[in-house]
Copies of this chain bind each other. A is one copy, B any other.
Amino acid sequence: MRQTAIIGIGQTPVREHWDYPIRGLAVKALRAAMQDAGTERIEGLFVGNMLSGALAEQEHLGALVADYAGFPGIEAVKIEAACASGAAAVRQAVLAVASGHLEIAAAVGVEKLTEFSGKFSSKALATAADADYEASIGLSFAALNALMMQRYMYEYGYSKEDFSPFPMIAHHNAQFNPNAMFRYPITKAQYLKAKPIADPVNLLDSSPVSDGAAALIIVPLEKISRFAGKGVKISACEITTDSIGLDNRENPIILAAAQKSARAAYKTAGVLPKDISVFEAHDAFSIITALSLEASGFVKDGQAPRLAAEGIYNIDGRLPISTFGGLKGRGHPVGATGVYQLVEATEQVRGCAPDKLQVPDVRTAMTQNIGGSGATVVTSILEKI
């Protein structure tokens, strides 16, 4: 089995992009990644996207982006796994290069949501849930997360304010990331007064509807010296699934797919949770950050908010999370998010993260991209070469 590496990264800022159609946004990130890698060609393109068909009435994004990038003829396909579409596309690129079928592949995550009204985007996002058993009874994603958060608070005796560290960390870090959507810190008082969305979830628990694109160039590990970019080893990229419907899960506040995916990733990479220097968490909602930290084995079940209060997950803590602002601060352009996480983790491993965000001596960084309320999880581990 060939090992693989990231040799180039690219991204657009996350914000409202009225100036670019979806293909333009994707190509901007792809071109940046190719320039970073120092390559003028790719052999395959794996596009992570969830909602272009439902919202922009454009499916067939693989061929569309390949053509607009100036590479008609190459292998190109769209990968969809709800909010985990981005990292799922990276997984396909890794498989293609690992198999020996491709020598250089790009994974591009792209999503464009802000031009559609909140009503449309909420409805479209609900297609990540179980249409017959969840969405049909009006359970939006905020509502599903509210159920999980409520149960978690009851089970472990937390109050609403115990979750404040998560969005505060995200906003703190986002202010130093030039590509983040919300470049300002928030206070605990602001968090507690934020507009309720679906009790106990409020606006500051919730990642925003965003536009953005991010890209990676992936090559065989043994060939990185042929490129100008600084290579980072992909030690693991493991995808697992769980029942989509919360009602079908043994325990709604344990992300079984995240457990399984993280364990597989540690095994493949040959590392332990304690070896991870940086963790890009999927903080779509505050509760998910807690559940993801616990499922990944960084902390015992029910302990994440307690440790967060101690500052462990701050940028200068023992395990910095969401170092570029996470989904809450950087933004959450759904199908692009998993690729953004890997771009950011690459920057951390390369040692070229922005000032005030670079964690010292990062040898191993981990990302976790979660689709739906935990039904698809992709955990990746990057290592310094």
Binding site for B on A (CB under 8 A): 1-2, 21, 50-51, 53-54, 56-64, 66-67, 72-82, 88, 91-92, 95-96, 98-101, 123-124, 126-132, 135, 239-244, 248, 256-257, 260, 371-372, 375-376
Chain B residues contacting A63 (CB-CB under 8 Å) are 81-82, 241-244, 371-372, 375-376
Task: Using known A-B contacts A1-B101, A95-B101, A99-B95, determine if residue A62 contacts B241 with beta carbons closer than 8 Å.
Answer: yes
Tell whether, in the assembled complex, residue A256 and residue B98 are in contact, meaning their CB atoms are under 8 Å apart: no
Which of B51, B56, B240, B257 is close to A53, meaning CB atoms less than 8 Å apart?
A: B51
Q: Which residue of B lies closest to A371 (CB)?
A: B60
Task: Using known A-B contacts A60-B82, A72-B242, A77-B80, determine if residue A67 contacts B101 with beta carbons closer than 8 Å.
Answer: no
Tell whether, in the assembled complex, residue B77 and residue A81 are in contact, meaning their CB atoms are under 8 Å apart: yes
Tell whether, in the assembled complex, residue B60 and residue A375 are in contact, meaning their CB atoms are under 8 Å apart: yes
**Candidate in A53, A73, A126 with the most chain B CB atoms within 10 angstroms:** A53
Which of B21, B79, B135 is close to A57, meaning CB atoms less than 8 Å apart?
A: B135
Chain B residues contacting A80 (CB-CB under 8 Å) are 53, 59-62, 77-80
Task: Using known A-B contacts A101-B95, A240-B75, determine if residue A60 contacts B257 with beta carbons closer than 8 Å.
Answer: no
Beyond A62-B81, A76-B376, list 10 extra A-B contacts (CB 8 Å): A1-B101, A21-B132, A53-B80, A57-B123, A57-B127, A58-B132, A59-B128, A64-B130, A76-B81, A77-B81
Tell whether, in the assembled complex, residue A241 and residue B79 are in contact, meaning their CB atoms are under 8 Å apart: no
Chain B residues contacting A372 (CB-CB under 8 Å) are 60, 63
Chain A to chain B contacts (Cβ below 8 Å), 22 pairs: A1-B101, A21-B132, A54-B59, A56-B131, A57-B123, A58-B127, A59-B80, A60-B82, A60-B129, A61-B80, A63-B244, A63-B371, A63-B372, A63-B375, A67-B375, A73-B242, A75-B239, A75-B240, A78-B80, A79-B80, A92-B92, A95-B99
A16 to chain B, nearest CB (A): 19
Q: Which residue of B lies closest to A92 (CB)?
A: B92
Tell whether, in the assembled complex, residue A60 and residue B239 are in contact, meaning their CB atoms are under 8 Å apart: no
Chain B residues contacting A130 (CB-CB under 8 Å) are 58, 64
Q: Which residue of B lies closest to A126 (CB)?
A: B57
Which of B2, B74, B92 is close to A77, meaning CB atoms less than 8 Å apart?
A: B92
Tell whether, in the assembled complex, residue A99 and residue B1 are in contact, meaning their CB atoms are under 8 Å apart: yes
Tell whether, in the assembled complex, residue A50 and residue B59 are in contact, meaning their CB atoms are under 8 Å apart: yes
A282 to chain B, nearest CB (A): 15
Tell whether, in the assembled complex, residue B241 and residue A66 are in contact, meaning their CB atoms are under 8 Å apart: yes
Tell whether, in the assembled complex, residue A260 and residue B73 are in contact, meaning their CB atoms are under 8 Å apart: yes
Q: Which residue of B lies closest to A260 (CB)?
A: B73
Task: Using known A-B contacts A101-B1, A239-B77, A260-B73, determine if residue A60 contacts B95 with beta carbons closer than 8 Å.
Answer: no
Task: Using known A-B contacts A76-B376, A239-B75, determine if residue A58 contacts B99 with beta carbons closer than 8 Å.
Answer: no
Chain B residues contacting A53 (CB-CB under 8 Å) are 50-51, 53-54, 80, 124, 127
